[in-house]
Chain A
Amino acid sequence: MATHTCKVLLSLGRMKSPAFTPHSPLGRVTYATALSTNRPNSNKGFTDGGNRGGPRKKRISWVRESGEPRTEKMAVDQDWTAVYPAWAPFRHGSVPLPVRMGKPMRGGVPPEKKGNLELIKIPNFLHLTPAAIKKHCDALKPFCTEWPSALESDAVCDELFPIKLKSSDYVHAGTSLRNPSARIVHLKVKLSSLNLDDHARKKMIKLLGDRYCKQTDTINITTDSCPLKQQNNDYAMYLLTVLYHESWKTEAWEAEKTVADMEEYCWEDSPSQKNILDTFVGMKVVEEGDAEAVREVVLGRPEVQEYRDSVTRLKNEGESESTMLQYREAVRKLFNL
């Protein structure tokens, strides 16, 4: 299209009559004939093709020859942060590196950087050279705060700040910037850091159920029921508060706790204690007579105490070499074997 218009303009310049009307007073049609003619060997470019069209040597005025690239004039010790202060696409004339990119042709090398689309397509880090990063960080440094020196190790942190709230943020491109997983909040506290007595601790563990890990003694509460992160945060803290206060209360129905509900093995009122009493009290009552006093004496004996400790340890900690050995020694001492 551009070639047609330029030919039209040229021909108008040569024509004497300025009017561009279909019916001229002379009866001659004064259309710009350049529109219809299309030189059979016209070049699409702006060269004059070796003067084939006659004495026309004039070049198109607005086309300039490109000068030498800026890279020739760049000093070796220039300030690169001024060349690429922010992200910009790769410009072959601004980057003084002999970069080649692309698949090499047969027997050839990868194409050069001039007019290379591959170099423009890939993400470039020309604006993030170490010098630029240092400049940016120097400007950002006043807005940073230092970590308190008293909180050096993780142990000190856990002691002073036992509650850990974990949440995630997401950065990605897409039709929507929001990510529904960003609202999830995980709360982690060590049970030992809360002020609880024995009954409260046991009740808390029962209330938590799966959310309590016995090996690490941590409470893990995950909240995702609210749409916003701050709401889930508040909800997690609310749950912790409720659990804490509820576990200190003693309800009337808690008196109905059976042996099956107990968390740990308790030797008092257990079949093991009954067996011991049956074995030894019977013998002593025959000699001395008073059942209650004899019972106390039997239970107070050091061998019985040791037997009690070994059985409790065996039931609570499970079977291992040390527990079995302890049980064996206690039984031996009890029956003087």
Chain B
Amino acid sequence: MKSICRSFTEEPDSLFQTVSVLVKGHDRAVLDSYEFFVTLAAKELGVTLHRVFEPPKNIERLTLLKSIHIFKKHRVQYEMRTHFRRIELSHVTGSTARVYLEYIQRNLPEGVAMEVSKTAMEKIPEHILEPMWKDQPTDKNSNSKNATLFTFCFGILDHMMK
């Protein structure tokens, strides 16, 4: 067996509460096959499937003149059907999401588009836990708005750059 080269980083893995994949195509059969592939891949990689369903299709119809000149009564109609499939995954880590989504996207069939919506969860950052005015003396609060805004901006920059 070949040894797998993996790199480890110290930064914590991001956490996604939901990852929603919407696939759009003109052919329903292609989306059916793709859904089978996506669900099987999720099961194999251990990604929890929250919901897999088919939003209603969208039909765009055009009515155009059949002839290039006159003959207004004779028209031709075209339509473009867009079928959808939504696959919602829940509780996915950043690494797993990256691996799974890259696998899914590399095997996307021709003529199919995809939209991925990720909802990342984050802790409240340190600079929002306590108000900064507790450290600074109160005389800075009272004066003109311009002065406070000026000192405030610097204060914020200090906190954000820490």
CB distance from A112 to the nearest CB of B (A): 20
Instruction: Contacts A145-B96, A168-B116 given; indicate if A195 touches B129 (C-beta within 8 A).
Output: yes
The interface residues of chain A lying within 8 Å CB-to-CB of B33 are 125
Alpha-carbon distance A138/B124, docked complex (angstroms): 36
Please tell me the number of chain B residues within 8 Å of chain A, measured between CB atoms. Answer: 62
B160 contacts A140, C-beta separation under 8 Å: no
Chain B residues lying within 8 Å of A252, measured Cβ to Cβ, are: 142
For residue B46, which residue of chain A has the nearest CB?
Answer: A144
Chain A, 206-227, contact with B by CB distance < 8 Å: what is the 0/1 string? Answer: 0000000000000000000000
Q: Can you offer 8 A-B residue contacts whose CB atoms are under 8 A? A: A128-B107, A138-B44, A142-B6, A166-B120, A172-B113, A194-B128, A241-B125, A245-B131
| Chain A positions within 8 Å of B122 at CB level | 161, 163-165
Closest residue of chain A to B42 (Cβ to Cβ) is A137
How many Å from the CB of A202 to the closest CB on chain B?
A: 15
A194 to B41, CA, bound (A): 39
Given contacts A241-B127, A251-B141, 14 further A-B contacts (CB under 8 A): A136-B103, A140-B99, A140-B103, A142-B4, A145-B93, A145-B96, A148-B15, A161-B15, A165-B120, A167-B117, A244-B131, A245-B132, A248-B131, A249-B141
B148 A193 Cβ-Cβ under 8 A: no
- Chain B residues whose CB sits within 8 angstroms of the CB of A105 once the complex forms: none
With a cutoff of 8 Å between Cβ atoms, the chain B residues found around residue A250 in the complex are: 141
Task: Check: A46 CB closer than 8 A to any chain B CB.
Answer: no
Count of chain A residues near B, Cβ 8 A: 55
Residue of A nearest to B99 (CB): A143
B64 at interface, CB cutoff 8 A: no
Within 8 A of B (CB), among A83-128: 87, 122-123, 125, 128
Which A residue's beta carbon lies closest to that of B112?
A: A123
Cα A127 to Cα B80 in complex, Å, equals 29
- Contact present for A137 and B110 (CB under 8 Å): no
A171 lies within 8 A of B131 (CB):
no
Judge whether B118 and A240 touch: CB under 8 Å. Answer: no
